[in-house]
Amino acid sequence: MAPGLGLAAAPPSMRVVENPGVGLCSTTHLECCSGGCSSSIATVFHLNYGMAGKAVWIGSGTRDREVVSVWRRYGHGKDQGRGKRVVQCLGMSESSSRKDQQAGIVRIFDVEDPRGASSSLKKGTIDVNTAWELLRQDVLYLDWKARQDVLTIVHAHDKVVEVLNPLVRDVKSVETLRSELAGLQEELSKAHAQVHLSEARVEHTLRKLGEMESLFNTKLLQNQGRERGSTVPKATSALQLALTGEAEADLSARPRTNTSRAKSLEVSGPIGPYPAQLKNYWYPVAFSADIDDKTMVPFNSFEEAWVIFRGKDGRPGCVRDSCAHRACPLSLGKVEEGRIQCPYHGWEYNTSGKCEKMPSTRFVNAKLDSLPCIEQDGMVWIWPGNETPSTNLPCLNPPSHYTIHAQITMELPVEHGLLVENLLDLAHAPFTHTTTFAKGWDVPNFVKFRTPIAALQGTWDPYPIAMEFKPPCMVLSTIGLEKPGKLNGSDVEACPTHLHQLHVCMPSSKGKTRLLYRMALDFAPYLKHVPFIKYLWQHLANKVLGEDLRLVEGQQDRMERGANVWNVPVAYDKLGVRYRRWRIAIESGDERIPFSSD
Ligand code: FES
Ligand SMILES: [Fe+2]
């Protein structure tokens, strides 16, 4: 912003010139120096911007000096040549020629022609103080303007960098998004909190209203009873029915709700430690084919770390995965001649856990914990319990005419019981497995699991699938296929081809399961020899399991927050409920275990 200065009458040594013409210097110097100023120095003035439409010339000099003005245009449009201008006064000899004068001017400034000579001149004068004040104001203005310009340049520079450097632009946009996101999240959480608060308040109010209504109705009935003697009014509300004794008859006529069947189980709250009773079983933990004489298979069982490897005789052993010396995980080491070698100081242990080599020091007796470990049906089994191992192992093999095509091991982030219950449930398939095996399935009017009264096995209706739960954590299923890959009909036996599945859900650590999956077919045995087909099976298994997992994980979360996962069991939940009843009985140490021949 330019300072707005008015110009007082100029002293004789100064001139105020409006729209000076080309010939100004020669025609005005004698008049402008009439004040007798003795200064001979040149002076530059930036003229007053407050004089809209007027150009002001300020100069100083003596009679023996020439005063020359040079004009530079600053105005634009209609103001061009009339607004802001620079004036320079040069001291020059009176005798100097006009040519010399102009040459001197040109040497110092890039002079621009003033407007045409036809411009009219108006004269005026200002005193020195005013002129210096003008100068000071102008310097201040120029200083301000320079800062503005620098700022403009900095902004322009930033813009250029932003345009030319995508990284800077990206960083900026990401940061902007982050801050906006943080703001939105904060608003969202506030809104959530508000909604929860409102819900709680509404619920509280409704409860209070219900209580008040009950009190009111009770009082009303009592009053009416008193007024009408033995006459009982016609009851309309549930409370009235209860009071009049009609409720029982009325309710008994209604179909009983699922909750009223009193068959719900309480399975809720945080996952607790595994009870010892659950450990007294044989558990398959690895496929035999996955362990050669150099292989170690580390795994967790009931929250303890173990490792399986083969001894000198080729039989598998299971020892604690923690060195007796200084607790280094042995599974980080290697297997050499039937011994597992610790990678820290080289101690070596056999399959029963006895230390047989202790390099670089005098040998001392050291032994690892170990578990009973056997190999059967193509799998390695352990006995994690403290009781004497049972001699009975369940048979998990498919019938002999089946060919095993896939054996897959996975670690899953869900509690093993929830996974078992998921595998024992087929009613969820048309809703959950919509991109895999149940794609396009109709939703049946009624789904049932047909089973003998005290069994943990049966067949699904209307699906051609037979299913069985094998304690402690195995699920076997045989799926009837009308033709390869096609599920149809409802009779497993009547189907010409079949797919056999085994799921072993080993409790590994808290809220986690080690899953062994095996798939066999009673047709197309040549598929086994198709190169890389195991990756196809792996992909399919992962996809199917992925559809289940997100739901079971969510279920586990709700359970840990207190929801009962068996709140309202219905007809098709029969097998899952039986598994849960079996498990509750085992964990409670019941004398009689349901659905068990033991
Ligand atoms: S920690 Fe295993 S040998 Fe030292
Ligand atoms: Fe499923």
Q: Which residue has the tokens 């960083």?
A: 171
Q: Average pLDDT for residues 132-157, to the nearest whole number? A: 76
Query: Which atom of ligand 1 is the closest one to the Cα of 345?
Result: 3
- And the tokens for 54? 């007027």
User: What are the b/e assignments for 381-416, b being 16+ CB within 10 Å?
Assistant: bbbbbeeebeeebbebbbeeebebbbbbbeebebbb
Give the separation between CA 494 and CA 556, rounded to whole angstroms.
Answer: 38
- Residue 407 pLDDT > 90, yes or no? yes
Q: Identify whether residues 461 and 572 lie together within a single domain.
A: yes
Report the atom number in ligand 1 closest to the C-alpha of 330: 2
Q: Are residues 289 and 327 in the same domain?
A: yes
Residue 347 in contact with ligand 1 by CB distance below 6 A: yes
Does position 14 have pLDDT exceeding 90, yes or no?
no
Neighbouring residues of 180: CB distance < 8 A, sequence distance ≥ 6? none
Handedness of CA 585, 588, 589, 590 (dihedral sign): negative
If asked whether residues 452 and 567 sit together in one domain, one would say: yes
First to last CA, the chain: 100
Side-by-side strand order, sheet with 348-349: 334-336, 339-341, 348-349, 355-357
Rounded to a whole number of angstroms, the CA Rg of the chain reads 49
Quote the pLDDT of residue 418: 98
pLDDT score of 365 = 97
Residues 263 and 292 in one domain: no
Please tell me whether the peptide bond between 343 and the residue prior to it is cis, using omega within 30 degrees of 0: no
293 CA to centre of ligand 1 in angstroms:
22
- Asked whether residue 527 falls in the same domain as residue 550, the answer is yes
Whether the CB of 433 sits within 6 Å of ligand 1 = no
Claim to verify: residue 454 and residue 490 sit in the same structural domain: yes
Distance (angstroms) between ligand 2 centre and the Cα of 545 equals 7
Same structural domain, 236 and 354: no
Rounded distance from Cα 384 to ligand 1 centre (Å) = 25
Q: In which order are the strands placed within the sheet that holds 448-450?
A: 403-412, 513-521, 497-507, 474-481, 465-470, 457-461, 448-450
Domain-terminating residue out of 137, 164, 191:
164
Question: Is 377 within the bounds of a domain?
Answer: yes
Do residues 242 and 256 both lie within one domain? no
Q: Poorest-confidence range of 10-19, 371-380, 565-574? A: 10-19
In-domain check, residue 398: yes
pLDDT band (50, 70, 90) for residue 413 = very high
Indicate whether 237 pLDDT > 50: no
Q: Which CATH number goes with the domain that contains 377?
A: 2.102.10.10
Q: Is residue 34 located within the same domain as residue 127?
A: yes
Count, in order, helices (H) and strands (E) of the chain.
10, 24
Say if residue 516 is in the same domain as residue 556.
yes
Q: Is residue 4 part of a domain?
A: no
Nearest residue (by CA) to ligand 1, atom 3, is 345
Closest ligand by atom to 321 CA? 1
Cβ neighbour number for residue 78 with a 10 Å cutoff: 9
The ligand placed nearest to the CA atom of residue 419 is: 2
pLDDT tens-digit map of 559-570: 999 999 999 999
pLDDT at 79: 38
Query: Looking at the domain assignment, is residue 2 inside a domain?
Result: no
CA of 428 to the centre of ligand 2 (A): 7
Q: Which ligand is nearest to the CA of 425?
A: 2
Both 70 and 103 in one domain: the answer is yes
Ligand 1 pocket member 349 (CB < 6 A): no
Maximum mean pLDDT: which of 210-219, 460-469, 479-488: 460-469
Which among 473, 513, 519 is positioned nearest to 282, based on CA atoms? 473
Last residue of a domain, one of 362, 384, 406: 384
Among the ranges 35-39, 489-493, 513-517, which has the highest mean pLDDT value? 513-517
Residue 429 is assigned to a structural domain of this protein = yes
pTM of structure: 0.58
Among 319, 320, 328, 332, which is best to mutate for testing ligand 1, by the most ligand atoms less than 8 A from CB? 328
Q: Of all residues in the chain, what percent carry a pLDDT higher than 70?
A: 62
305 lines ligand 1 (CB under 6 A): no
Phi, psi for residue 187 in degrees, rounded to 5: -65, -40
Residue 1: inside a domain:
no
DSSP 486: B
Give the residue with greater pLDDT, 130 vs 69.
130
The whole-angstrom separation of Cα 457 and Cα 440 is 27
Ligand lying closest to the C-alpha of residue 545: 2
Q: Which of 116, 144, 164 marks a domain boundary?
A: 164
Distance between CA atoms of residues 547 and 437, nearest Å: 11
Per-residue confidence band for 240, with pLDDT thresholds at 50, 70 and 90: very low
Residue nearest (by alpha carbon) to ligand 1 atom 4: 345
Task: Give 24-61 as a 3 state SS string.
Answer: HHHHHHHHHHHHCCCCCCCEEEECCCCCCCCCCCCCCC
- For residues 375 and 367, what is the distance between their CA atoms, to the nearest angstrom? 23
Number of domains the chain is built from? 4
pLDDT band at residue 81 under the 50/70/90 scheme: very low
> Among 326, 330, 368, which residue has the most ligand 1 atoms within 8 Å of its CB, making it the best to mutate?
326
Question: E strands along 531-589, which residues?
Answer: none
Q: Is the pLDDT of residue 148 over 80?
A: no
Ligand 1 pocket, 357 CB below 6 A?
Answer: no
CA of 347 to the centre of ligand 1 (A): 6
Tell how far the Cα of 104 is from the centroid of ligand 2, in angstroms.
Answer: 98
* Cβ neighbour number for residue 87 with a 10 Å cutoff: 23
| Length of the chain in terms of residues written | 598
For the CA of 342, the nearest atom of ligand 1? 2
| Mean pLDDT in residue range 41-64 | 38
Q: Give me ligand 2 centre to Cα 505, in Å.
A: 14
Ligand 1 centroid, distance to 337 Cα (angstroms): 18
What integer is the mean pLDDT of 58-74?
38
Once rounded to an integer, what is the mean pLDDT over residues 363-368? 97
What is the DSSP-derived secondary structure letter of residue 386? Answer: S
Does ligand 1 lie within 6 Å of residue 574's CB atom? Answer: no
Query: 9 lies in a domain?
Result: no
What pLDDT band is residue 298 in, cutting at 50, 70 and 90? very high
Residues near ion ligand 2 (Cβ under 5 Å): 548
Establish if 129 belongs to a structural domain. yes
Q: Is 274 in the pocket of ligand 1 (CB under 6 A)?
A: no
pLDDT of 514 reads 98
300: three-class secondary structure by DSSP: strand
pLDDT at position 175: 74
Residue that is written with structure tokens 């020899």 in the block: 529
Instruction: Please work out whether the CB of residue 271 comes within 6 Å of at least one atom of ligand 1.
Output: no
Ligand minimally distant from the alpha carbon of residue 576? 2
Indicate if 372 and 305 belong to the same structural domain: yes
Provide the residue range defining the domain that includes 193.
173-248
Average pLDDT score over residue span 65-70: 38
Name the residue with the closest Cα to ligand 1, atom 1: 326
Q: Which atom of ligand 1 is nearest to the CA of 343?
A: 2
Could you tell which of 307, 319, 322, 323 is best to mutate to test the pocket of ligand 1, judged by most ligand atoms within 8 Å of the CB? 323
State whether the beta carbon of 534 lies less than 6 angstroms from ligand 1. Answer: no
- pLDDT above 90 as % of the chain: 48
Ligand that lies nearest to the alpha carbon of residue 424, given by its number in the listed order: 2
CB atoms within 10 A of CB 124: 16
Q: Which atom of ligand 1 is nearest to the CA of 327?
A: 1
* The ligand 1 atom nearest the CA atom of 347: 3
Mean of pLDDT over the chain: 74
Mutate to test the pocket of ligand 1, among 347, 360, 364, 367 (most ligand atoms within 8 A of CB): 347
